[in-house]
Structure 1
């Protein structure tokens, strides 16, 4: 069953890029012989892919194939024979939904042995998952819930974020993925149950990313770390740094900056907090045409003006010009998060590699007074 190899995995991701729209996904499990297996089955037109795991082996194995006119899924695991310079099919899997939510299948191994099996949907309620509350509130697929049903977190240490406000570092000892939770402190009005459900969901997804990235344990690498920048009774800002080198590729580093409301764990965008427009703020959705126009015409110029006032020595070009921070395009779509001193903004530039990380570009909260739509306790 563990026949998928690097060629198949790369082909899987090529298929993913070809089809922007995934038509349907099924989350199934059952016993194949004596082994319990969970499968995520994805449709892409007449093509299909599947990931499967077992209770003992949580790392993804990949199948890919086609869907016949009668609705049968024909899937194959393959590997690349470097000597013969050709693709070799290892196992073949045939699946069809015989009745609603009841799938019949045959697994044919490369040695010719065949095993018939039946699959049914994965029901999160039936998994007895230790973090069912977080899974139901946030985006955890049934497949990933199945994979993490035996997870347990161990506390590592406590970290002070500000006076009377602490987080605890916690780790999953099996995957070695660590993250954090916020500690309750009623005296400081830190009520963390809701945000901690969100943090658990993020932690579970990070574990799933590792098991999806690393093939057969040794093929690939996934590591992550985090930093909490700001935490008060209303808001939390933190960053997650990730390194992924999946299936033997060169790898890449990425950083995500996240800001959530503590009360309901909803994600915050800058327009929820500050408005730099000349007219009353309309209801904008990130990515809409009006949002882009606002960022181009009003947000970017105003941010540049504030930074020029605060940091003239950085914004005014010096000779030789290595990084022109005076370019308004750098500041139209900045990365951002809160710090104890103010709003941090990191320019967005895809071309100038000589620019520094703009760690200096923090706008103090008092400078944002006139643009505040919701204070969230940011100004003392």
Structure 2
């Protein structure tokens, strides 16, 4: 039988499904000489807490209850294979005595008790090296506190397109790498805003590593990236994430990301390419008019273009297993920009092995008459 971490994970899963998280507290202070930060999530009368110390940035988990007087009682356990029972490792009693002042008692396995006090984490006072990024892109106080001493190491530069370069940056402690865009005034790439977005994402990745790997050894989290497009207006990149949190069966995820350089906002595909009549209406993803556009205009037009470009892939004989010659396969693709053009990944709904349509790239030249006039992808 594994230690109590499995029970806590089950608790988290159940409450994510059946309960609404009412409030989250982000607190920091000292227990004896140990500086720590703790995050407490309320689920009705139940709660789950994560904490780390200045000497051990990996998550330690606690679970507990909230009493009628507002006191929070938390415990952590481990399984003793000799006694064949759960042993309480730490227990914590904590209450907000006055606004923003929390006091309590920390009891260790050896019964030693230490009184302590905590206060909310104030990111304004952390002297965080990337304060602008954490403020603008909503990095939570727990992550901000955990990464307040991060020092990224510069890696190699990589040229993506004419005048467009990125640089690899690595956190040497966790080994998590991501990238930054190098400003280029010659080619009008001003990347300060998007780099703050990338920094914020990098900090969140580091926090995920510490949250996913239990006590520094049990579990794994890693992420790789590939930048597929970069010009003066947009960046597209792919991330591949592998995780096996707390040693539980792992999972892999591939995601496509596209952002505007000027503000770090992710555009909709309709912001870049429009196949309907003018003037173009303002559509929100998922609404009725957007769905009708995707069904009646977008899907048929994409199939028409791909059929002219890749007849050997779309013809009925070759496409019978994957239904690439069906409008439905192209109504709701996931997408990214590449140096060769717009990549659309089919969602066939019949065979997931068909989703990775590596060939389905529409060159920007073929999209000129459908491209937002504010952007030029063929420079």
Question: Scaled by the length of structure 2, what TM-score is found?
Answer: 0.93
Matching of residue 108 in structure 1 with residue 96 in structure 2: no
TM-aligned CA deviation for residue 160 of structure 1: 0.9
- Greater CA deviation, 103-112 or 14-23? 14-23
Q: Structure 2, unaligned stretches of length 5 or more?
A: none
TM-aligned CA deviation for residue 280 of structure 1: 4.1
Structure 1, residues 94-130: CA drift from partner, whole Å, max 9, x if none? 2211111111122122222221111101011111111
Q: Distance in 2 between matches of 1:240 and 1:74?
A: 40
CA distance 1:319–1:273, change in 2 (3 Å): closer
Q: Distance in 2 between matches of 1:320 and 1:262?
A: 38
Name the SS of the counterpart of 2:186 in structure 1.
helix
Is the Cα–Cα contact under 8 Å of residues 106 and 116 in structure 1 kept in the other structure? yes
CA distance 1:222–1:366, change in 2 (3 Å): same
TM-aligned CA deviation for residue 310 of structure 1: 1.7
Find the counterpart in structure 1 of residue 290 from structure 2: 291
CA distance 1:361–1:375, change in 2 (3 Å): farther
Q: Distance in 1 between matches of 2:42 and 2:89?
A: 22
Name the SS of the counterpart of 2:203 in structure 1.
helix
Is the Cα–Cα contact under 8 Å of residues 214 and 246 in structure 2 kept in the other structure? yes
Find the counterpart in structure 2 of residue 193 from structure 1: 192
Matching of residue 204 in structure 1 with residue 189 in structure 2: no
- Greater CA deviation, 179-188 or 323-332? 323-332
Matching of residue 126 in structure 1 with residue 119 in structure 2: no
TM-aligned CA deviation for residue 322 of structure 1: 2.9
CA distance 1:168–1:49, change in 2 (3 Å): same
Find the counterpart in structure 2 of residue 148 from structure 1: 147
Q: Distance in 2 between matches of 1:222 and 1:89?
A: 28
Is the Cα–Cα contact under 8 Å of residues 346 and 354 in structure 2 kept in the other structure? no
Q: Distance in 1 between matches of 2:86 and 2:296?
A: 54
Find the counterpart in structure 2 of residue 325 from structure 1: 324
Is the Cα–Cα contact under 8 Å of residues 275 and 372 in structure 1 kept in the other structure? yes
Q: Distance in 2 between matches of 1:320 and 1:328?
A: 12
Name the SS of the counterpart of 1:39 in structure 2.
strand
Matching of residue 220 in structure 1 with residue 219 in structure 2: yes
Matching of residue 79 in structure 1 with residue 69 in structure 2: no
RMSD in angstroms over aligned alpha carbons? 2.1
Q: Distance in 2 between matches of 1:362 and 1:377?
A: 17
TM-aligned CA deviation for residue 152 of structure 1: 0.4
Find the counterpart in structure 2 of residue 254 from structure 1: 253
Find the counterpart in structure 1 of residue 165 from structure 2: 166
Find the counterpart in structure 1 of residue 262 from structure 2: 263
Q: Distance in 1 between matches of 2:176 and 2:19?
A: 30
CA distance 1:158–1:253, change in 2 (3 Å): same
CA distance 1:43–1:378, change in 2 (3 Å): same
Q: Distance in 2 between matches of 1:86 and 1:290?
A: 59
Find the counterpart in structure 1 of residue 340 from structure 2: 341
Structure 1, residues 218-275: CA drift from partner, whole Å, max 9, x if none? 1001111111111111111111111001111121111121111111111111121122
User: How many residues are treated as equivalent by the alignment?
Assistant: 377
TM-aligned CA deviation for residue 26 of structure 1: 1.0
Find the counterpart in structure 2 of residue 229 from structure 1: 228
Structure 1, residues 288-311: CA drift from partner, whole Å, max 9, x if none? 444344333432232222212221
Q: Distance in 2 between matches of 1:221 and 1:237?
A: 26
TM-aligned CA deviation for residue 328 of structure 1: 2.7
Is the Cα–Cα contact under 8 Å of residues 347 and 355 in structure 2 kept in the other structure? no
Q: Distance in 2 between matches of 1:84 and 1:10?
A: 23
Name the SS of the counterpart of 2:58 in structure 1.
coil
Q: Distance in 1 between matches of 2:319 and 2:57?
A: 54
Find the counterpart in structure 2 of residue 178 from structure 1: 177
Find the counterpart in structure 2 of residue 359 from structure 1: 358
Structure 1, residues 304-359: CA drift from partner, whole Å, max 9, x if none? 22212221211123269332212333322212111122100111246414426211
CA distance 1:123–1:356, change in 2 (3 Å): closer
Name the SS of the counterpart of 2:150 in structure 1.
coil
